[in-house]
Structure 1
Amino acid sequence: MISANAFVTVAFQDCDPMQVVWHGNYYRYLEEARRALLEKIDFSYQEMALHGFAYPIVDTRMKFVSPAQHAHRLEITARLTEWENRLRMDFVVFNHTTGKVCVKAHTIQCAVQLNSQEMLLASPQCLLDKVAACYK
């Protein structure tokens, strides 16, 4: 399975009044790992646009397991688990400071043609070729 990691240190402004990471900030952390994974398969957001596609997130799920706090060091792992008809990435946010998993999540993105704004029901060949190249 294709995967990539990103690391973040929790910033003071990412925490809520209870001194834990505000839940909405985890989506920014997932984006760091998603970007790393897309770059790993040579299909960055710029590359998508060059091929005439965007991949908006159409569904997401996040399970909060344990909290992270200011200055904690987090590792976010993204795994590409589906790509034939849509992009599904599964994520784990691991807290190196506490040794615990903070979050388990997944996102689903679908290809949209930039010129027509139509959503595709199958992934375009350019994405399939990029993923296939990672398995060679």
Structure 2
Amino acid sequence: MTRISRRGLEGIDPSWDQLSIPLRVRFNEVDSMNVVWHGHYVAYCETAREVYLGARGLSYQAMELHDCPAPVVRMQLDYLRPARSGEELQVTCAQIPGGEPKLECRYEVRNGAGELCCIANSLQLFVDATGLPYLTPPPPVAQLFSAIAAARAARPAANPDAGP
């Protein structure tokens, strides 16, 4: 039997700013094989990203209010292990540093045993009222990236002198 090699997305770097949320797989999210239908992983990632951005000070409502919405322009997922109905999942969202003013996030979906079920990437562009991408971040987005940088600097993995 030949195994499929796993080439694709890498996991989240421990030094990146990240936030995890718990989610329980609901019955209506599984298919006839009792595994999560692949499209629901996108919703899991979206939920984690919404919580992550809100925790860093820029909700989707604030993006609209300040005329800087951020539509998703690319999404990639690698499915590694099925999640099943009733399982508790941990969904982690991390901002990939260095791409500002675009927002690129990496996601990990893990089951209750800590096993990696899915890795994903999303790319969002902040756009103005006409739909054109900002070349430099407007003030609310600049504040978001400052909050992310501060949170990243405070992580023990990013700052070995910070202590336990």
Equivalent residue, structure 2, for 1:93: 109
Contact 1:86 1:122 in 2 (8 A): no
Counterpart Cα distance in 2 of 1:93 and 1:46: 26
Q: Provide TM-score, normalisation by structure 1.
A: 0.91
CA-based RMSD of the aligned residues comes to: 1.6
Counterpart Cα distance in 2 of 1:133 and 1:62: 27
Counterpart Cα distance in 2 of 1:86 and 1:100: 30
Equivalent residue, structure 1, for 2:37: 22
Structure 1 unmatched runs, 5+: none
Count of matched residue positions in the alignment of Structure 1 and Structure 2: 134
Counterpart Cα distance in 1 of 2:66 and 2:78: 34
**Cα deviation digits, residues 80-134 of structure 1 (max 9, x gap):** 11451300000000101x43110001100001112x2222244333212222134
Report the alpha carbon displacement of residue 18 of structure 1 after superposing the two structures with TM.
Answer: 1.1
Highest CA radius of gyration, 1 or 2? Answer: 2
Contact 1:7 1:73 in 2 (8 A): yes
Structure 2 unmatched runs, 5+: 1-15, 152-164
- Which amino acid is 2:87 matched to? H
Match of 1:117 among 127, 131, 137: 131
Counterpart Cα distance in 2 of 1:15 and 1:45: 28
Q: Show structure 1 runs of 4+ deviating over 4 A.
A: none
**Identity across matched positions, percent:** 29
More strand by share: 1
Q: Provide TM-score, normalisation by structure 2.
A: 0.76
